[in-house]
Structure formats: structure tokens, C-alpha cells
Amino acid sequence: MRVQRARALPKLRVSGSTAPTAESLAERAERVAAIAAQHAAAVDRDSLFPADAIAAARRERFLSAAVPRELGGEGASISEVVDVCYTLGRACGSTAMIFAMHQTKLAAIVRHGCSSAWHEQFLRRVCSEQLLLASSTTEGNRGGDIRNSAAPIERRHARIALTRDATVISYGEAADAVVTTARRSADAASADQVLVVFHKDDYTLERLAGWDALGMRGTCSDGFKLVASGTSEQILPVPYDEIHARTVMPVAHLTWSSAWAGIAAAAADRSRAFVRKAAQCGDGALPPGAAHLTRADATLQRLRNLIGGALRRFEAVADDPVALESVDFQTGMNLLKVNASELAVAIVMSAMQACGLAGYRNDSPYSIGRHLRDVLSSPVMISNDRILGNLAMASLLSSAPASLREPTSTRTTDSEARA
């Protein structure tokens, strides 16, 4: 892993660093979540983009919350963004995941594009127009191999062009811009990537595949042929390997994990309501599945602790490029995704077992069906097997601590959490 380059990063706003406002992001998130919850069943049933929830997010100026104040945003901290993902996840998994993906791409531009006049102006547009950013990183038969690109940037003087078969562009047709990876040039290696921002006026989308999925149906993750053109200024001035390691991967895994935790928490709440109702109807006797609610709550606490620990580690080193690219940090943040997805699935399964048939049925007020189908996307959204396979060499180079009292690395701690 490359650590010799150490470009300074914009100072990350951390927990408690945002100036107080008349109404907190959390309070506004509850309003957006209430609207998302009203439409969640229809979004899931009909595979609809959650237009009402995203419109509410625009009204609350959520799409620019993490942009620095000097550019028109609110300078929201990563902790606040993660909390919003959790709140939205409790209401509608698709809405939460769309918000998480938007925030990940926004963070990349904020942290790596602010030295560019074009990207600074683009961030101002995000704030004034509440633009929704989509991500295009999967391509052709590469699947979730986002650290390699097939399609190159074609340069014609100051102009650039890109044509790529994008296997998935979540909410691509509803987005106002696409942030995409690409090979730096036709003669560059597949791993020599850049990140480019294209406004909707810069590209066309030709549908290649639909999105009839088990869960996360409202993300509308269709496949498209993306044909884009623009100016060379639209390429972020930092190589994508740096952007990915220092921002995209950790922010994505923190926001995704929080969205999955929100889904799991909603499932646990449904099982709690079922157990309470069953106890009331049974003269206080708990139903047979009550023990599974205990397991769901305990596992949810583990998941919340895992995310909280990872969030604190990111905040601690977010402005240190060398620490961000260290093996320990990279391994820990990758394992966060693996661990969080497995724990979230376990929580929802426990919630369904607590409810029994009432949780299994789709026509029950205690149905866990949508939550289970949504959360089952988590192990395959960038496959856990791919992540663990990529980390195998790092595991071979490590060793177990000699003592329980011996300080552990980020990676060791997260490995223990997974066990």
C-alpha cells in the first residue's frame, strides 16, 4: 500500500464540532424519516425510487449538509451524517442507502476537490440546487471490483469523454450528477484510476439491465451504458487510489453500516411490539420466541459499539494521510463492513424468530419481511468474500496478541468483533 504521498486533507469536522443551529440535523432527520416510513411499503412493493423522501431531504437541505459552510453547506460532521443514515434506515432501507451513497461521493469531492475551482463551484451548486449525486463504480464483468476500471478517459485537448458499461448505477435516472471512476487514459493500467464528476447535462444513460431485486428495491440500481463528456477540470485532482483509501472506503462503510443498523433496529422494535402484545394477551406470559428478542437487542448493541468504535478511529486519523493508508486502518475499516453486515443480518433473523409466523407474514403489522430482504443485501453489496479474500495477505503477516492486556491494532480488534 502506498504511503509516501501525504497530501494535506481538509480538516474533517468531527463529533461536536458543528456550530449549533436553531434546529439540529437529527430533528430534521426525524421529519424526513417519517415521510420515508409512509412510503416504504410502496417503494419496496413496486421497486420505486423514494421520491417523496428525497424531496423531503431536499426541503431540509440534507443533500448539502456536509458541505463546508463557506461553500453554502452546514459543515455537518461525519458523526451527524452517520446518525442520519441510522435514522433513515429505521424508516426505509432504500432511502437510507441512497442517502449514504450520496454522502460518500459528496465527501470525496469535499475532501479531495476543494483545491479545484470547478469542483468548488460544483459544491456550491449542490448546496443551492440540492443536487443528488449517484455513483458509478461497477462495470462490465468486474462486478464489485471497484479498484479497477476498464473504460478509459479519452482526452481531446481540454475536453474529455467517457463511455462505460455500468453494471449498476443506483438511482441513476433520478440523479442530478454521476460521480464515476475511470482509467486515467487508454494506455493506463486498470488500477490507475481517476474520479470524475459529470452533471446531468454532460451524459446520457442507455438502460442495459433492470432492477428486480430481492431487497433494496427502491435504490433502482439499473445497469446503463454511460456516455459522458466534459472538460478535464471535472476530473478530481487527486488519484483515485488516494481518494478511495482516505475517504470513499471509510465513509462508505460507516454510512452503509449505519443504514443496516437502522434496518436492524426497526426489525428489533417490531419484534418488541409483538412480544409486548403477546404478553398482554397471555396474562403476562412471554411468548416462546421472547428469548430471540433478547438476542436481537444484545447483537444490536454489539453492532452499535462496532460502528461507534470505527467512527472514533476515523475521526482520530481523518486528517492524517499516512495513518489513513496504514494496513491497520484499512483492514479495520474493511472488516467493519463485513462485521456490520453479518451482525445486521443476525439481528433481523432474531427479530423474525421472536415474532414467529407474525414476522414471517407480509400481511402482519409485525412483518419483518421487508427488513430481512433489505438487510440481506449487505453481505453482497461489495461481496464480503471479496473483501476477506483481499485481506488474506494482511492476515498472514499479522499475529495474535501475546496477552489480553496487550494493546491491539485496529485490525485485531475488529477481527475479534467478527468472531
Write the CB contacts of 173 (distance below 8 Å, at least 6 apart in sequence): 49, 205, 220, 222
What is the per-residue pLDDT for 404?
Answer: 81
Summarised one tens digit per residue, pLDDT across range 81-107 is: 999 999 999 999 999 999 999 999 999
- Start and end residues for every CATH 1.20.140.10 domain found in the chain: 240-418
Mean pLDDT confidence for 283-310: 95
Mean pLDDT score of the chain: 91
Q: How confident is the model at residue 171 (pLDDT cuts 50, 70, 90)?
A: very high
Per the structure block, which three cell numbers stand in for 167? Answer: 453494471
Predicted structure pTM score: 0.92
Task: Please state the CATH superfamily assignment of the domain spanning residues 25-132 in this structure.
Answer: Acyl-CoA dehydrogenase/oxidase, N-terminal domain (1.10.540.10)
Per the structure block, which three cell numbers stand in for 295? Answer: 438476542
Summarised one tens digit per residue, pLDDT across range 240-272 is: 999 999 999 999 999 999 999 999 999 999 999
Residue 361 has pLDDT above 70, yes or no: yes
For the stretch 193-213, what's the b/e string if a residue is b when 16 or more beta carbons lie within 10 angstroms of its beta carbon? bbbbbbeeebbebeeeeebeb
Alpha carbons 87 and 43: distance in angstroms, whole number = 17
What is the per-residue pLDDT for 407?
Answer: 53
Residue 221 has pLDDT above 70, yes or no: yes
Q: How confident is the model at residue 8 (pLDDT cuts 50, 70, 90)?
A: low
Alpha carbons 77 and 81: distance in angstroms, whole number = 6
CA angle 312, 313, 315 (to 5 degrees): 65
**Cα–Cα distance list, 25 to 16, 67, 76, 98 (Å):** 12, 13, 8, 17
- Start and end residues for every CATH 1.10.540.10 domain found in the chain: 25-132
Q: Are the CB atoms for 325 and 1 separated by under 8 Å?
A: yes
Which conformational region is residue 229 in: left (phi greater than 0), alpha (psi within -120 to 50 degrees), or beta?
A: beta
Helix ranges (H only) for 213-248 are 240-243
Per the structure block, which three cell numbers stand in for 363? Answer: 400481511
Distance from the Cα of residue 306 to its chain's centroid: 16
Beta strands in 192-253 (DSSP E): 193-199, 203-209, 223-231
Q: Are the CB atoms for 300 and 265 separated by under 8 Å?
A: yes
- Start and end residues for every CATH 2.40.110.10 domain found in the chain: 135-234
For the CA atoms of the chain, what is the radius of gyration?
21
Alpha carbons 113 and 197: distance in angstroms, whole number = 10
What is the per-residue pLDDT for 217?
Answer: 98
Q: What CATH number labels 135-234?
A: 2.40.110.10
What is the per-residue pLDDT for 371?
Answer: 98
Three-state secondary-structure class, residue 133? strand
Three-state secondary-structure class, residue 182? strand
Alpha carbons 301 and 347: distance in angstroms, whole number = 10
Task: Please state the CATH superfamily assignment of the domain spanning residues 240-418 in this structure.
Answer: Butyryl-CoA Dehydrogenase, subunit A, domain 3 (1.20.140.10)
Write the CB contacts of 60 (distance below 8 Å, at least 6 apart in sequence): 28, 29, 31, 32
Beta strands in 95-243 (DSSP E): 133-136, 154-156, 159-166, 177-183, 193-199, 203-209, 223-231
